[in-house]
Structure 1
Amino acid sequence: MSLGALSAETLPEALVRAYQSSPQLNADRARQRGTDENVPQALAGYRPQIIASLSAGLQAVRNTLPDNTVQGTTLRPWTIGLTVNQVLFNGFKTANSVRVAEFQVLSGREALRNTGQGVLLDAVTVYMNVLANQALVEAQRTNVTVLREIQETTRRRLDAGDVTPTDTAQAEARLSRGLADLNAAEVTLAISKATYAQVTGEAPGPLAPATPVDRFSPLTMQASVETARHEHPAVLGAAYDVDTAQTTIRVAEGSLLPTVAVQANVSRSRDSDTTLGTSGTDQASIVGQINVPIYDGGTAASQTRQAKEMASQSRLVLEQVRNQSRTAVVGAWVSNEGAKVALSAAESEVKAAEIALQGVRREAAGGQRTTIDVLNAQQELTNARSRQIAAQRDRVIASYTLLSAVGRLDVHTLGLNTPDYLPELHYHQVRDAWHGLRTPSGQ
């Protein structure tokens, strides 16, 4: 093994870098951390609300007595108080709101997992595109080198009188075409390298060949469809959305039920008016309150009907996502099987084209073939190699696409050398937080 092969970057290494540095994935992780905060916000409904109050000021008083004597003074009253409100029952709105928030968290995790699959599949695609385009550039360079040799040979034979100027023109035309094809391949390679840097965060260096990952996918199409139905993050996320919508109905219905709350209050006030019988007042109270909704103009009823319609929509969306998932799996399975056949055929085509070119060149040297026959055979070999390179690229991408369609394209399944991002960690850090403005990361 050469030193270049040892230092070449592998596909798993590129996937690790994309997984760690993807702005899209990091943005979705931040979104999910924001979604986690819905749960402590909902849990706040179980907790008391405490309010402290303080009022103070100046009050000018001017009194006129019966004998028309005027007395004036400036008062400095102040009051300090503490109020505690605790909801005891609110039609199960708090409990159902917590469940809604938890379902939203679960749905968000599946959306994050789906984004991770997309990032990894994009990384596979750009890696294989660069690898294939590098090979295509080398194939076109080899083609140009061979065409130059044919052109030089044709010119020498023209000088010797063995061929006509037509043969020379044909060789020059094919060389010009080969140079144009080489330029197009170099342009495509430059574009694919830029895309690679965008997806993985670094420009590509030497890349090692990649292999398919069929071993991680189910063995049959039907098994793949069933696996996707139960494991694909888009399907699971849509199912959690149904749970969210169903629970939202109960939140809306809670507005039609009574509310029970208790309020405790303590206060102290002072007044500097010496004409009053008292100069200060201390108070403490505990008050229970029951509110029974009689009629709210139809708001709660409308919200309940609306929630039911949204639940119906979410169930239809779930069915749609399941159908889309099945179609994606079938398409990915067929494409993967087709890629196997295409690669085998391309390899056989290259071998046959190499043998054909060798035979045509020998026959041309013996005068049994013309220059155009040699040029055509060379072009067929170049085309066959290009198709083989494309088939090798498609074969690897198709296997990863199938794994993504099934719902298993992740760090754990691929065994990548990087810690897996665990959204549950942040969730448990903030779920029962009663106070604090800083995030777990210190922001």
Structure 2
Amino acid sequence: MAKLRHRGALFGALLALLGPSFALAATNLLEAYQQALRNDADFGAAAAERDAGLEEANKGRAGLLPTVSVSGTETRNSTDQRSLTVLGMRGTTYDYTSSSYGISLRQPLYRPYNWAGYLQGQARASYAEATYEAARQDLIVRLAGAYLDALLGQDTLALTQAQRQAYAEQLVQAERLFAGGEGTVTDINDAKARRDSAVAQELEAANNLEVARRALERIIGQEPGTLATLMADKPVPQGPQPNDLNQWVEWARSGNPTVQAQRHGLESARQDVAKAGAEHKPTLDLIASRSKSDSENNVSINTRYDTRAVGVQLNVPLFAGGYVSANVRQAEAGQRKVEQQLESATRKAVLDARQYFLGVNTGVAQINAYRQAVTSAEAALESTRKGFQAGIRTSVDILNAQQQLFAAKRDLARSRYGYIVNWVRLKAAVGGLGDDDVTHLNSWLDVNRAN
């Protein structure tokens, strides 16, 4: 048993050395999305808020439906009666049980306040649905951003490690040449300085990767494990379809879920004004009741009553000390506030649509340009190495060419992930981001290749 524990400890230490990418199963974007739907706290709160908001429709409808109540009492009574007669004071004691039972119904016939409450309930339920949809699309945006940040962190770490290794090899070569009388101390110092700088960059990249992974963990609620990486030929850069900015702006005005939520919020505010003004108006209700009583008091002992009543009740408010007028003005101010919030949300949606539309188009050009830059930098590095062998280039030239190549690869990685993020945010800005888009993005990942 001790040996088994010892082996288990060794295996655990080995897994720790190899890192979480070996210890845990790979996670692709679609799996991460399913985990986020279950575990993301912000989305869970939005779902609960939606469920609560949907009940506003039922609460509003209740004001139009009849109310029924039942009441009943049963009491044991003991009454001592004393009265003056010609024979003097005489008394009688009554011991009896009295009871009373009734049922009543009230059906609103004309209640402007209740009707406004019904319309407001519908608007609030729609607001809850729109807010939930905004939270669902925001979850996709946050998840995609966190996942891609983690992938970028992995790529950046790999590039800095390769850069450090290349500089270390160049340092070894410079030292060997110097020992043979062909190099200079300057070459050694330059290579050493760049290697040391690359070590510092590697540490920073490792820290950034850890932060990115923890950000992803916060969304999916568990350790992400290894991540499926982006295929080398993905994404295929192309502009938005249709490539018409005005069309995307119009879609943002009409389809953005936050804008839709604010429109429903404005309707709710209008009904607040209607409810406040309705307190000036009369109400009319249909009422019906039936009651039974037995020995209700000491003059009706052993007497039973069965009463039925049907009628209408009119209530006309006359004066409430200025409260109703103040309430109306307050509701109108609230409506103006929501109008401004709607305008702000619309402007933001339009701005987002413009920004991410341009971002997608810019990303297309950047990806193509940086891919060509990587190809050119690789060719330049190869030419510099050959020139060094021919004696027409220095080791510093090689270091510069290597640095240029690593910078081009880093910029290419950023442009690829930035293009995807802008694409996701553009669709969210117009309210068109859905589960199919997550599946589409997931198809760009190589599930057989993970870091």
TM range (shorter): 0.7 to 0.9
State whether residues 237 and 364 of structure 2, in contact with CA within 8 Å, keep that contact through their aligned partners in structure 1: no
**Within the alignment, does 1:281 sit opposite 2:320 as a pair?**
no
State whether residues 85 and 264 of structure 1, in contact with CA within 8 Å, keep that contact through their aligned partners in structure 2: yes
State whether residues 11 and 208 of structure 1, in contact with CA within 8 Å, keep that contact through their aligned partners in structure 2: no
Paired with 2:257 and 2:296, the residues of 1 have a C-alpha distance of 69
State whether residues 266 and 342 of structure 2, in contact with CA within 8 Å, keep that contact through their aligned partners in structure 1: yes
Paired with 1:192 and 1:53, the residues of 2 have a C-alpha distance of 64
Task: State how 1:303-382 maps to structure 2 within 5 Å.
Answer: 303-382=327-406
State whether residues 106 and 237 of structure 1, in contact with CA within 8 Å, keep that contact through their aligned partners in structure 2: yes
Equivalent position to 1:28, from 23, 38, 46: 46
**Within the alignment, does 1:270 sit opposite 2:294 as a pair?**
yes
Equivalent position to 2:323, from 299, 307, 331: 299
What is the identity, as a one-letter code, of the residue corresponding to 2:201? D
- Provide Cα deviations, 1:171-225, integer angstroms capped at 9, x if missing partner: 2222111111111111111111111122233414131316379677532111110
Counterpart of 2:60 in structure 1 is 42
Q: What secondary structure sits across from 1:84 in the alignment?
A: strand
| TM norm structure 2 | 0.83
C-alpha deviation, 1:272, in angstroms: 9.4
**Within the alignment, does 1:253 sit opposite 2:271 as a pair?**
no
Q: What secondary structure sits across from 1:37 in the alignment?
A: helix
**Within the alignment, does 1:183 sit opposite 2:203 as a pair?**
yes
Paired with 1:213 and 1:233, the residues of 2 have a C-alpha distance of 27
Paired with 1:343 and 1:112, the residues of 2 have a C-alpha distance of 35
Cα 1:268–1:213, aligned 2, differ >3 Å: closer, same or farther?
farther
What is the identity, as a one-letter code, of the residue corresponding to 1:184? E
Cα 1:218–1:413, aligned 2, differ >3 Å: closer, same or farther?
farther
Cα 1:30–1:272, aligned 2, differ >3 Å: closer, same or farther?
closer
Equivalent position to 1:107, from 122, 127, 136: 127
C-alpha deviation, 1:394, in angstroms: 0.8
C-alpha deviation, 1:75, in angstroms: 4.2
Counterpart of 2:189 in structure 1 is 169
Counterpart of 2:7 in structure 1 is none
C-alpha deviation, 1:72, in angstroms: 4.5
- Provide Cα deviations, 1:332-390, integer angstroms capped at 9, x if missing partner: 12222222222222222222222222222222233333332222222222222211111
C-alpha deviation, 1:18, in angstroms: 2.8
| Bigger strand share | 2
Cα 1:41–1:150, aligned 2, differ >3 Å: closer, same or farther?
same
Equivalent position to 1:56, from 74, 93, 102: 74
What is the identity, as a one-letter code, of the residue corresponding to 1:340? V
State whether residues 238 and 364 of structure 2, in contact with CA within 8 Å, keep that contact through their aligned partners in structure 1: no
C-alpha deviation, 1:285, in angstroms: 3.2
Unaligned runs of 5+ in 1: 418-443
What is the identity, as a one-letter code, of the residue corresponding to 2:185? P
Equivalent position to 1:84, from 102, 105, 119: 105
Counterpart of 1:127 in structure 2 is 147
Paired with 2:265 and 2:238, the residues of 1 have a C-alpha distance of 32
Overall identity of the aligned pairs, in %: 20
Q: What secondary structure sits across from 2:71 in the alignment?
A: strand
Cα 1:341–1:214, aligned 2, differ >3 Å: closer, same or farther?
closer
Equivalent position to 2:217, from 172, 181, 197: 197
Cα 1:386–1:309, aligned 2, differ >3 Å: closer, same or farther?
same
Paired with 2:340 and 2:357, the residues of 1 have a C-alpha distance of 26
State whether residues 100 and 296 of structure 2, in contact with CA within 8 Å, keep that contact through their aligned partners in structure 1: no
Paired with 1:213 and 1:74, the residues of 2 have a C-alpha distance of 96
Paired with 1:68 and 1:242, the residues of 2 have a C-alpha distance of 76
State whether residues 46 and 94 of structure 1, in contact with CA within 8 Å, keep that contact through their aligned partners in structure 2: yes
- Provide Cα deviations, 1:271-329, integer angstroms capped at 9, x if missing partner: 398x7464133231324321112222222233233333333333333222222221111
Paired with 1:309 and 1:12, the residues of 2 have a C-alpha distance of 45
| TM norm structure 1 | 0.84
